[in-house]
Amino acid sequence: MIQRHVFLIGMPGCGKSSLGKRVANNMELPYVDTDARIEQAAGCTTSQIFERYGEPAFRNAETNVLIQLTREPGSIVSTGGGLVMRETNRAIMRNHGVIVLIDRPLEQIMGDIKLDRRPLLAKKGLSEVERLYHERIETYRAVADAVLDNSQGYYAGLAGLEKLIRTMFNV
- Per-domain residue ranges of the chain: 5-166
Residue 61 has pLDDT above 60, yes or no: yes
**Half-sphere exposure at residue 22, Cβ-oriented, CA atoms within 13 angstroms:** 14
Q: How far apart are CA 20 and CA 103, in angstroms?
A: 13
pLDDT in tens, 91-122: 999 999 999 999 999 888 877 766 555 555 55
The identity of residue 123, as a single letter, is: K
| CATH code of domain 5-166 | 3.40.50.300
Contact 87, 34 (CB under 8 A): no
Task: Quote the pLDDT of residue 115.
Answer: 55
Residue of 23, 25, 30, 22 whose CA lies nearest to 1: 30
What's the pTM value of the predicted model, to 2 decimals? 0.93
pLDDT in tens, 125-170: 677 778 889 999 999 999 999 999 999 999 999 999 999 999 999 9
Residue 43 has pLDDT above 70, yes or no: yes
Task: Quote the pLDDT of residue 125.
Answer: 65
